[in-house]
């Protein structure tokens, strides 16, 4: 990716450590996290300010502190057409941010739409559609001065009315699936055509760098009222009109999407490319052949199949860049099914360990050799997981959990637990069904083999299409289920959505009379999760998050397996700035092609 | 003749209705909720809103009646999964890709099969006959997706002669259209060429034993005239039946090749619709595929009359 030498690991660790220390250096009781109203005001936030806001919101990751190693601009040239293959998807069902719930879709929308703010390659949260802004001392009122002369791709002028419209649309659950994201926003008021006020119920440090950010934010990604009304919601989703650097000029559903340079983009220096063609390619072998043949030059979308990474790295025509990815993957064990039955997790771990059902759960989790699994299933690329909090979360990730979690691999202990539960050597243990999708079949075969070898228990693979799997997962109709999460950048993504009794993924369609909770419930965990969501002090929040992570790990909320890596593959002629290398995003407004 | 065709058309409509009705109810019996899967990460109440909007909360028979009434008006409904655009729009975009692929695959299979079958029949028992038989079985045994991947690796990745994936319409030019389709067409058509070649061979062997061929030889006609003027046209009749079925099967089995070559055709739409439980899309695609199947077979029957005037249709 670059001719520059990447820093040595020890230098990198020191660099990141120093950056983290500075980022968290402020009075914990200060709702403004040590920043003044002036520092929070735009048009540009200093790097120090950005890092501090990210830290306070829990969104600071090691990736933000990595030194830039981009290609020297002199080697690059403007213009040209970039052909991209989007992996693991058959069609781009919508680019309307109000309906986007997949990372691979907001990878595209980030190139077509704008927000009030966007984090630039120098990690400065600069105004995107906002020219500058002021924040009151309480941090509950933001006044944005909007850029003038900005137009949507259809020629409509952008004004404060579009910000208000976007807010009104997003807070309506009938029109947007992200209404809860802006729950802290009490109102958005038009002051003039190019001035708007946003009112919050309470200070929110993540407001500028997350909620209003154009890519992952989505709730306040600015949409065109005129286009929605004239095109209808369905067609707007297919050829979304925004104010971004590229406009969608063609979209053949399931075949390709064409983006072209928007000539009236507010920054005359961007974008560099003339055209981008994005092709959804669902299977791994065709996408591999396509990039090797030069039919495509960049792979975006879902993570590529693990078995392809070695092949790409060996290809001298390709660049492969790997960073820790957001998310966790593992095996859920149904606590309402014998022999893993646990009907009450509200006990200390040592007490739970006296119950046969919990002994079985822990035995299975401890018998899963994660290093072996990663080697066989992921060809060595992945980080062993012991909780939902992943390395991409940076500051919040507990890199010691692998050594002190109850789930850590210990074969002797696992076998003893199983024997104490009444199944020595797996004798008499019933065959359990492992529910999974076809794409995870290979992983599940490896899990089956590991458990057979290590515990002597039999696992039967139960392959189901995703709609069926989700139905069974939501109704708690399974023994074991191979499932996980992706796109988790904030601790809330990993704990609020999964580990509370009322979490949206925690057996929401189960028979609540028969099953008090879904796959897990612990009152202390519920309370800790609620508390960490509103805790501004980063050290306190970190302590709460790591405590939640430890409890859910020790009590086997899931048999965690791995955190997936984020692998980016491009052809050598593609100059992709390293500063844009945020896990999960593919911003192409600065991409150039070498001639 | 006209009466025959009209009766066949009427029968075809009945067949299509029966298939569509069967598929309608079978889809809804399948486990899996389309909305829960689509809105897995959204607010749970969003799924219920959409269920009412699409009428999925109503009894199955009511859903069927509403769908049928709309169908009679030419409305196939809207896609449930994601885009919610009209099903007819999806199918209009996809059908030309599958028809192009199937047509080209059909041409590939004919170009290979007929000469191979003829040579094999005329050189029966000789090494060339055994060779053709061996290659035919090889073609029949090779999975089309595997052959497709091999072709991509060789012609696209290694040689760089042809594109690896995608589709270009004929309106973009003959070569872009052809170059994108020749590899998938070869992958799809190879197995069928084996079947047709064997059919040509056995049909020719039957015809070559007949009295009129003996007479033709006795009259002193050249071997070429005997084979192409007398034997082959008569041998074609059963082969045409197989060709008609093959074309229909090519349409249906194109899904694997479409997936390998990233072509969004009817096959892929059908499979993804089933996997996503996108009921309107599956119903619409099934209707289109069954229409093509029935139409091709009707065409085959009409061709019989043209080729062999002895066949009576009254």
Q: Is pLDDT above 70 for B23?
A: yes
- Chain A residues within 8 A of B87 when measuring between CB atoms: none
Q: Which of B295, B108, B180 is nearest to A255 (CA)?
A: B180
Average the pLDDT over each of A116-125, A461-470, A517-526 and give the range with the smallest value.
Answer: A116-125
Q: What local confidence, expressed as pLDDT, does residue A187 receive?
A: 96
Of the ranges A514-523, A559-568, B4-13, B101-110, the best mean pLDDT one: A514-523
**Does the pLDDT value for residue A123 go beyond 90?**
no
Residues 6+ apart with CB under 8 A from A577: A68, A70, A71, A121, A590, A591
Least Cα distance to B264 among A91, A95, A234, A439 occurs for A91
Chain B closest CA to A424's CA: distance in Å?
37
Q: Are A156 and A247 in contact (CB under 8 A)?
A: no
Contact A286 B165 (CB under 8 A): yes
Percent of chain B scoring above 90 in pLDDT = 19
Q: Where are the beta strands (DSSP E) in A136-214?
A: 141-146, 185-192, 195-200
Closest CB from B46, B93, B269 relative to A252 = B93
Query: In this predicted complex, what is the ipTM?
Result: 0.77
Q: How large is the average pLDDT for residues A591-595? A: 89
Q: Is the pLDDT of residue A73 over 50?
A: no
Q: What per-residue confidence (pLDDT) applies to B255? A: 81
CB nearest to A474's CB, from B36, B43, B260: B36
User: Which pLDDT does position B39 carry in this prediction?
Assistant: 65
Chain B: closest CA distance from residue A514 (Å): 20
pLDDT value for B83: 61
Say whether A290 and B165 touch across the interface (CB within 8 A).
yes
Residue of B nearest to A280 (CA): B262
Asked whether A553 and A235 are in contact (CB, 8 A), the reply is no
The tokens 């996997």 sit on which residue?
A: B275
Q: Do A289 and B81 touch (CB under 8 A)?
A: no
Which of B264, B267, B274, B277 should be substituted to probe chain A, the one whose Cβ sees the most A Cβ atoms within 10 Å? B264
- Of the partner residues B40, B272, B275, the one whose CB lies closest to the CB of residue A470: B40
Residue with tokens 């070429």: B224
**Whole-structure pTM value:** 0.80
What number is the average pLDDT over the span A316-329? 88
Residue A467 with chain B: CB contacts under 8 Å: 32-34, 36-37, 275-277
More confident residue, A436 or B3: A436
Q: In this structure, how many other beta carbons lie within 10 angstroms of the beta carbon of residue A324? A: 21
> Tokens for A133?
């802004």
User: CA-CA distance, A367 to A476, in Å (whole number)?
Assistant: 24
Query: What is the structure's pLDDT at A256?
Result: 92
Compute, in degrees rounded to 10, the torsion defined by CA atoms A458, A463, A468, A469.
60
Which tens digits make up the pLDDT trace of B287-300? 888 888 888 888 87
Element (H, E) at B65: helix B60-72
Q: Which of A154-158, A250-254, A442-446 has the lowest mean pLDDT?
A: A250-254
Angle (CA) A302 A308 A309, round 5°: 85
Give the pLDDT of residue B275: 81
Q: Average pLDDT for residues A167-172, to the nearest whole number?
A: 93
Q: Look at A254 and B269 and tell me if their CB atoms are within 8 Å.
A: yes
Residue A122: is its pLDDT beyond 60?
Answer: no
Out of B42, B49, B83, closest to residue A238 by CB: B83
By CA distance, what is B84's nearest residue in A? A234
Q: How far is the C-alpha of B245 from the C-alpha of B250, rounded, in Å?
A: 9
With a CB cutoff of 8 Å and minimum separation 6, the contacts of B127 are none
Confidence of residue A29 (pLDDT cuts 50, 70, 90): low
Given a cut of 80, whether residue B50 has pLDDT beyond it is: no
> To the nearest whole angstrom, how far is the Cα of A263 from the nearest Cα of chain B?
26
Gyration radius (Cα) of chain A, Å: 24
B chain contacts of residue A284, beta-carbon cutoff 8 Å? none
Query: Order of strands across the sheet with A480-486?
Result: A383-384, A559-563, A327-333, A480-486, A432-436, A459-463
Q: Which of B31, B84, B165 sits opposite A471 (nearest CB)?
A: B31
- Environment class of residue A553 by beta-carbon count within 10 Å: exposed (0-12), middle (13-18) or buried (19+)? buried
Interface test with A, best of B143, B262, B266 (most A CBs within 10 A): B262
Q: Which residue, among B108, B104, B117, has the nearest Cα to B191 in the 3D structure? A: B108
Asked if the model's pLDDT at residue A58 lies above 70, the reply is no
Residue of A nearest to B89 (CA): A253
Find out whether A414 and A363 touch, Cβ atoms under 8 Å. yes
Q: What is the mean pLDDT of residues A265-290?
A: 92
Structure tokens at A571: 């052809």
Neighbours of A413 (CB within 10 A): 15
What's the pLDDT tens digit per position in A137-161? 888 899 999 999 999 999 999 999 9
pLDDT band at B44 (very low <50, low <70, confident <90, very high): low
Tell me the two tokens of residue B81. 């999964």
For A507-513, what is the mean pLDDT? 92
Residue A266, CB-side half-sphere exposure with 13 Å CA sphere? 21
**Which has more pLDDT, A538 or A170?**
A170
Q: Are A434 and A443 in contact (CB under 8 A)?
A: no
The answer on pLDDT for A41 being more than 70 is no
**B91 closest CA partner among B247, B303, B270:** B270
With a cut of 90, say whether residue A77 has pLDDT above it.
Answer: no
Interface test with B, best of A177, A289, A312 (most B CBs within 10 A): A289
Q: Which residues of A touch B263 (CB under 8 A)?
A: 255
CB-based contact B94 A508, cutoff 8 Å:
no
For residue A30, give how far its alpha carbon lies from the nearest alpha carbon of chain B (Å).
Answer: 33
> Can you read off the two tokens belonging to residue B179?
């170059």
> Could you tell me the two tokens for B259?
């997936």
Tokens of B186: 């070869």
Residue written as token pair 């892929």: B268
Asked whether the predicted pLDDT for residue A584 surpasses 90, the reply is no
Record the tokens describing residue A269, joined without a space: 């220096």
Contacts of B40 in chain A (CB under 8 A): 101, 470
Kindly report the nearest CA distance between residue A593 and chain B, in angstroms: 20
CB count in 10 Å sphere of residue B86: 17
Nearest to B272 by CA among A483, A465, A435: A465
Neighbouring residues of B137: CB distance < 8 A, sequence distance ≥ 6:
B194
pLDDT > 70 in chain B, percent = 93
Q: Is the pLDDT of residue B282 over 80?
A: yes
Q: Which pair of structure tokens corresponds to residue B207?
A: 């015809």
DSSP secondary structure string, B81-128? SSS--BHHHHHHHHHHHHHHHHHHHHHHHHHHHHHHHHHHHHTTTSHH
Distance from CA of B242 to the nearest CA of A (A): 32
Per-residue model confidence (pLDDT) at position B176: 93
> Which residues in A lie closer than 8 A to residue B96 (C-beta atoms)?
none
Q: What's the farthest any 2 CA atoms get from each other in chain A?
A: 75
- Tell me the pLDDT band of B8, cut-offs 50, 70 and 90: confident
Tens-place pLDDT, residues B105-123: 999 999 989 999 999 999 8
What is the pLDDT at residue A68?
41
- Binned at pLDDT 50, 70 and 90, residue B31 comes out as confident
**A532-548 per-position pLDDT tens digit:** 877 767 788 889 999 99
Greatest pairwise CA separation for chain B in angstroms = 84
Q: Which two tokens stand for residue A180?
A: 């809860």
CA distance linking residue A394 with residue A488, whole number of Å: 12
Shortest distance between the Cα of B91 and any Cα of chain A, in A, equals 10
Residue A537 contacts residue A28 (beta carbons within 8 Å): yes
Under an 8 A CB cutoff, do B37 and A179 touch? no
The three-point CA angle A484-A485-A486 to 5° equals 140
Does residue A199 sit in helix, strand or coil?
A: strand
State whether A173 and B165 contact (CB < 8 Å).
Answer: no
Select the highest-mean-pLDDT range: A203-207, A305-309, A385-389. A385-389
From the candidates A99, A179, A234, A254, which should be mutated to test the interface with B, based on the most B CB atoms within 10 A?
A254
pLDDT band, residue A180 (cuts 50/70/90): confident
If we measure between CA atoms, which residue out of A101, A105, A210 comes closest to residue A504?
A101
SS3 A7: coil
Task: Give A180's contacts in chain B (Cβ within 8 Å).
Answer: 43
Residues of A in contact with B83 (CB under 8 A): 91, 93-94, 234, 237-238, 253
Provide the pLDDT for residue A170: 93
Candidate from A85, A252, A283 with C-beta closest to B260: A283
Instruction: Indicate the average pLDDT of chain A.
Output: 86
Under an 8 A CB cutoff, do B165 and A292 touch?
Answer: no
Q: pLDDT, tens digit, for every residue of A381-440?
A: 899 999 999 887 777 889 899 999 999 999 999 999 999 999 999 999 999 999 999 889
Higher pLDDT, B272 or A556: A556
With 60 as the cut, is the pLDDT of residue A222 above it? yes
Question: CB under 8 Å to B141, separation ≥6 — which residues?
Answer: none
Q: Does the distance separating the beta carbons of A293 and B31 come in below 8 Å?
A: no
């Amino acid at each position: 990716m670059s001719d520059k030498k990447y820093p040595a690991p020890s230098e990198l660790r020191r660099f990141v450590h120093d950056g983290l220390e500075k980022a968290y250096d402020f009075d914990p009781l200060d709702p403004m996290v040590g920043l003044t109203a002036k520092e929070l005001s735009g048009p540009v936030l200093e790097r120090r300010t950005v890092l501090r806001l990210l830290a306070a919101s829990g969104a600071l990751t090691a990736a933000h502190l990595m030194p830039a190693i981009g290609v020297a601009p002199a080697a690059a040239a403007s213009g040209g057409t970039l052909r991209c293959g989007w992996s693991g998807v058959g069609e781009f069902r919508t680019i309307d941010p109000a309906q986007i719930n997949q990372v691979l879709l907001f990878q595209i929308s980030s190139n077509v739409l704008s927000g009030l703010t966007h984090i630039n390659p120098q990690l400065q949260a600069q105004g995107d559609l906002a020219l500058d802004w002021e924040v009151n001392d309480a941090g509950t009122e933001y006044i944005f001065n909007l850029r003038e002369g900005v137009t949507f791709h259809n020629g409509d002028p952008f004004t404060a009315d579009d910000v208000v419209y976007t807010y009104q649309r997003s807070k309506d659950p009938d029109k947007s699936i992200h209404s809860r994201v802006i729950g802290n926003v009490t109102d958005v008021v038009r002051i003039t055509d190019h001035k708007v006020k946003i009112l919050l119920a309470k200070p929110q440090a993540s407001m500028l760098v997350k909620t209003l950010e154009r890519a992952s934010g989505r709730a306040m990604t600015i949409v065109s009222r005129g286009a929605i009304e004239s095109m209808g919601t369905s067609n707007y989703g297919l050829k979304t009109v925004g104010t971004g650097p590229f406009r969608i000029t063609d979209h053949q559903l399931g075949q390709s999407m064409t983006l072209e340079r928007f000539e009236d983009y507010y920054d005359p220096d961007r974008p560099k490319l003339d055209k981008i063609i994005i092709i959804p390619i669902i299977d791994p072998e065709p996408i591999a052949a396509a990039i090797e043949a030069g039919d495509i030059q960049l792979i975006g979308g879902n993570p590529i199949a693990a078995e392809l990474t070695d092949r790409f790295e060996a290809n001298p025509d390709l660049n492969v860049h790997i960073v820790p990815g957001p998310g966790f993957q593992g095996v859920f064990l149904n606590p309402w099914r014998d022999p893993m039955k646990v009907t009450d997790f509200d006990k200390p771990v040592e007490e739970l360990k006296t119950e046969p059902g919990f002994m079985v759960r822990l035995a299975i989790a401890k018998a899963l050799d994660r290093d072996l699994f990663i080697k066989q299933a992921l060809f060595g690329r992945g980080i062993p997981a012991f909780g939902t909090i992943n390395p991409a979360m940076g500051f919040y990730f507990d890199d010691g959990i692998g050594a002190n979690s109850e789930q850590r691999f210990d074969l002797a202990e696992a076998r003893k637990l199983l024997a104490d539960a009444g199944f020595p050597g797996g004798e008499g243990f019933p065959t359990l069904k492992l529910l999974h999708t076809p794409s995870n079949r290979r992983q599940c075969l490896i899990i089956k083999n590991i458990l057979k070898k290590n515990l002597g228990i039999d696992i039967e693979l139960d392959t189901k299409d995703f709609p069926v799997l989700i139905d069974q997962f939501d109704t708690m109709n399974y023994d074991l289920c191979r499932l996980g999460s992706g796109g988790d950048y904030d601790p809330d993504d990993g704990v609020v959505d999964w580990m509370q009794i009322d979490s949206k993924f925690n057996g929401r369609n189960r028979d609540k009379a028969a099953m008090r909770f879904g796959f897990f419930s612990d009152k202390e965990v519920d309370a800790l999760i609620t508390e960490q969501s509103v805790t501004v002090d980063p050290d306190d929040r970190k302590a709460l998050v790591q405590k939640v992570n430890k409890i859910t790990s020790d009590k086997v909320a899931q048999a965690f397996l791995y955190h997936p890596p984020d692998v980016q593959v491009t052809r050598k002629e593609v100059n992709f700035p390293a500063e844009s290398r945020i896990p999960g995003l593919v911003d192409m407004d600065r991409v150039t092609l070498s001639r | 003749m006209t009466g025959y065709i009209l009766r066949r058309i009427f029968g075809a409509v009945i067949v299509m209705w029966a298939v569509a009705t069967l598929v309608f109810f079978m889809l809804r019996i399948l486990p899996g909720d389309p909305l829960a899967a689509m809105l897995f990460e959204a607010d749970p109440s969003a799924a219920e809103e959409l269920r009412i909007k699409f009428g999925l909360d109503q009894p199955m028979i009511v859903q069927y009646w509403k769908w049928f009434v709309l169908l009679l008006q030419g409305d196939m409904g809207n896609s449930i999964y994601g885009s919610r655009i009209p099903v007819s729009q999806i199918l209009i975009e996809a059908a030309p890709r599958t028809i192009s692929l199937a047509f080209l695959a059909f041409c590939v299979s004919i170009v290979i099969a007929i000469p191979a079958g003829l040579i094999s029949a005329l050189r029966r028992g000789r090494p060339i006959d055994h060779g053709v038989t061996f290659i035919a079985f090889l073609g029949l045994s090779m999975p089309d997706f595997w052959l497709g991947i091999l072709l991509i690796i060789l012609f696209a990745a290694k040689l760089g002669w042809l594109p690896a994936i995608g589709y270009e319409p004929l309106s973009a030019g003959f070569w872009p259209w052809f170059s994108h389709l020749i590899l998938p067409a070869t992958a799809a058509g190879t197995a069928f060429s084996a079947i047709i070649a064997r059919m040509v061979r056995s049909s020719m062997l039957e015809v070559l034993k007949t009295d009129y061929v003996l007479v033709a030889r006795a009259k002193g006609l050249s071997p070429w005239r005997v084979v192409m003027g007398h034997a082959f046209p008569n041998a074609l009749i059963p082969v045409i039946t197989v060709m008609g079925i093959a074309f229909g099967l090519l349409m249906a089995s194109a899904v694997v090749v479409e997936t390998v070559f990233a072509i969004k055709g009817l096959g892929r739409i059908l499979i993804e619709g089933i996997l996503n439980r996108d009921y309107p899309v599956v119903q619409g695609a099934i209707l289109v595929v069954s229409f093509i199947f029935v139409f091709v077979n009707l065409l085959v029957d009409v061709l019989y009359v043209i080729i062999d005037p002895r066949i009576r249709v009254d």
